[in-house]
Structure 1
Amino acid sequence: MAEPTDDEAAAAEWAAMMEKEDAGGAEDGGAEGDDAGGAPAAPGKSTRILNQDEIDSLLGFENDGDGDKDRSGIRAIINSALVSYERLPMLDIVFDRLVRLLTTSLRNFTSDNVEVSLDSITSIRFGDYLNSIPLPAIISVFRAEEWDNYGLVMVDSSLIYSIVDVLLGGRRGTAAMRIEGRPYTTIERNLVERMVAVVLTDMSSAFEPLSPVQFLYDRIETNPRFATIARSANAAIMVRLRIDMEDRGGKLEILLPYATLEPVRELLLQMFMGEKFGRDSIWENHLATQLWATEVEIEAVLDEQVMMLSEVMALEVGTTIMLNSAPDSSIMLRCGEVDIVTGRMGRAGGRVAVRVDRVLRGPGAQSQNQSPGQSQG
């Protein structure tokens, strides 16, 4: 048998090395593919296949709870630009005050031990909020009288049945009975309407130190479509309150569109009550005092004429210029370029005076006509 040549030996050695690498790569790829639950990896290449839980985590769909939804992954990045949320620090103070007021008012309203807590203040699109309301629910539409706009108060089923149970003498220590699949009765609607009136009264008191406003009850709706008070794409502030009555209770949500809060937006942007945004009231008062004491020069204009430049250049000492003004003609008193008053020229004692007939500047200037002798200059 002939001995292999150098080329044949090199080819055989190269083939043996390739078979060894293929066997090692297939073993590693198969182990990783089996761990990931996917198909085996290609020979000679180490790959990592994501399982379904890892894909959901990357996209932001792994959380089913209301509080953690849309807060992670690519979904959170997309949804972060959906609502332009402007931070309104003063709202936190207003609704903290509302919680304290509402705790006392609901205790008096129900004659029971009531605890009110503020869960969250978030920004949401109006249309998304209406779509997220769990049914059945009662939605109260109220009007902000001074701001000339509307808002919503949503009471969920748990709180509705709890309030009805408490007000109608239900036993303590037992959970409120929920009957699904039927509309709310007139008694239930009337009791919830009374509770909403208490909430709106306390909310008016909470906004009182910031801006006087009266929230008036408008109507109650059970279908979110009929509670539309803004466009679906408009941003709104959603305040979620938790009301607990021993072992009963539920959620109450207040929705205020940004358009409703626009008249007091500058006040809500303050970090603390009475913030002046850099204004110095002492300096302003000093400036006003000095302006009142400032002396200004007033000119009495007897007549105005338009002359050619050649006539002006021809003026000499002794030239007489005739004014189109008689002794009883109206005289204009002017400060700089601004006309102030008109009057008639005369003499008071040993001085030339102007008796004011009409004021041209200031409040009521068009209708103010003074009779001769009221003022003299």
Structure 2
Amino acid sequence: MSDVLNQNEIESLLGSLDTGPADPAPAAAPSNPGKSAAKSVAAFSQSQGASGIAELPKPKEKVTPYDFKRPERVGKDQMRALQTMHEGFGRNFGAALSSLLRSIVEVKLTSVDQLTYSEFVFSLENPTCFNLVNAKPLEGQLILDINPSLLYPIIDRLLGGTGEANASTRRPLTEIELLLVGRITGLFLDEMRAAWENVIELELSVERVESNPQLVQIVPPNEVVVLVSFELTLGEVRGMMNLCIPFNTIERIGSKLSANSWITYSKKPPTPETRQNISDQMSGSIVEVVVDLAETRIATKDLIGLRVGDVINTEKDKSTPLVVSVEGRRKFHASPGALKGHKAIQVIEALEERRQAAGDAKEA
């Protein structure tokens, strides 16, 4: 039989399989080589699969863990809007702070995250500059935290120093230092008000300043907050400013915090130069001009029977001016005529001017 493998073919086939140590060779040739070959081929088919190719292991499904203690209540679109909004705020605040301190100050937005209030509080240093901010008409309060390592160089700069004060000082601020820090906080709130004006008009004010953040509880510990972090660089000194926005404060204006709703573009009044420039560019444009000679109604059977030379009667008088439309808009009144052997119209008046005169007469 041509379908039965001989002994040499079977040994060559089994030797090509790399499935572990080979079985010891039989001492004698099998008495029934055809049956032995069929078993070997069956074993080879089972080990390699029906198609002769080894099956690959199925990829495991990717599972993302979800922490119920830290629910993501703020949408991704709202987070992107907050990030874009405060990136512009950081540039403006850096420019204003540089003008106040008469030194180059770089303000960089580092992150916009959502976490629980307890995680935010325990991540702060103690003592620190913990400002409770009222933001009417929003409910609740915001928190502005300024790292002490940044405050003392700024205070030194405000008092006429070089801004190289000891940044490792750890003590609560004095009354005089709080007054000086109020200038920085007030500047921060002014720029924040300008950054949020396209979303909502805020009335921002500092209610009080605390040094121990763990003594202030404006929301429950497990409440979700949005933490906007800025890194300030003043010479060789770097420090962090954190703006904490509780979710319940911005929950009712969540629909306004989207990339398509808060971004606006300022409009400038046109100048004579821009008007002339636009007119020059449009002067060569080709527009469609249509003249309505008359309108009438006829029966369908009359329409089907129309032939060349037939006359259609209309109710329009020959002295009635024709309406000239430009790009589908009624612009002029004209009278029909002929010029150098071509049918033509003569513009009588502009419809816009006529409407304006009618409106003035009505008001009078």
TM-score w.r.t. length of structure 2: 0.51
Of 240, 252, 263 in structure 2, the residue corresponding to residue 263 of structure 1 is: 252
Aligned length: 199
Structure 1: which amino acid aligns with 2:218?
I
How far off is 1:104 after superposition?
1.7
In 2, distance between residues paired with 1:269 and 1:171? 42
Mapping for residues 102-117 of structure 1, pairs under 5 Å: 102-117=93-108
How far off is 1:145 after superposition?
0.9
1:239 is matched with 228
Contact 2:198–2:263 (Cα < 8 Å) also in 1: no
Of 182, 185, 188 in structure 2, the residue corresponding to residue 199 of structure 1 is: 188
In 2, distance between residues paired with 1:181 and 1:220? 16
How far off is 1:271 after superposition?
4.5
Of 151, 167, 172 in structure 2, the residue corresponding to residue 160 of structure 1 is: 151
Structure 2: which amino acid aligns with 1:123?
Q
Contact 1:234–1:257 (Cα < 8 Å) also in 2: yes
Of 60, 78, 84 in structure 1, the residue corresponding to residue 72 of structure 2 is: 84
Mapping for residues 1-377 of structure 1, pairs under 5 Å: 77=65, 79=67, 82-86=70-74, 87=76, 88=78, 89-171=80-162, 175-178=164-167, 180-271=169-260, 273=262
Contact 2:116–2:223 (Cα < 8 Å) also in 1: yes
2:58 is matched with none
In 2, distance between residues paired with 1:209 and 1:115? 25
Percent identity, aligned pairs only, is 22
Contact 1:90–1:272 (Cα < 8 Å) also in 2: no
> CA deviation digits over 1:314-362, x for unaligned, max 9?
xxxxxxxxxxxxxxxxxxxxxxxxxxxxxxxxxxxxxxxxxxxxxxxxx
1:279 is matched with none
In 2, distance between residues paired with 1:248 and 1:181? 16
Taking structure 1 as reference, are residues 180 and 114 closer, same or farther at Cα in structure 2, changes over 3 Å only?
closer
> CA deviation digits over 1:50-88, x for unaligned, max 9?
xxxxxxxxxxxxxxxxxxxxxxxx9x9465862324221
Contact 1:141–1:152 (Cα < 8 Å) also in 2: yes
In 2, distance between residues paired with 1:150 and 1:176? 32
In 2, distance between residues paired with 1:266 and 1:206? 17
1:19 is matched with none
Which structure is richer in relative contact order (CA contacts within 8 A, separation 6 or more)? Answer: 2
How far off is 1:179 after superposition?
5.7
In 1, distance between residues paired with 2:115 and 2:145? 15
In 2, distance between residues paired with 1:257 and 1:242? 21
Contact 2:232–2:241 (Cα < 8 Å) also in 1: yes
Runs of 4+ in 1 over 3 A off after TM superposition: 76-81, 178-182, 269-275
In 2, distance between residues paired with 1:133 and 1:220? 15
Kindly report the root-mean-square deviation, in angstroms, between the aligned alpha carbons of the 2 structures.
Answer: 2.3
> CA deviation digits over 1:278-309, x for unaligned, max 9?
xxxxxxxxxxxxxxxxxxxxxxxxxxxxxxxx
1:340 is matched with none
SS at match of 1:229: coil
Taking structure 1 as reference, are residues 214 and 83 closer, same or farther at Cα in structure 2, changes over 3 Å only?
same
Which sections of structure 1, spanning at least 5 residues, go unmatched? 1-73, 276-377
In 2, distance between residues paired with 1:251 and 1:115? 12
Contact 2:81–2:257 (Cα < 8 Å) also in 1: yes
Which sections of structure 2, spanning at least 5 residues, go unmatched? 1-62, 265-364
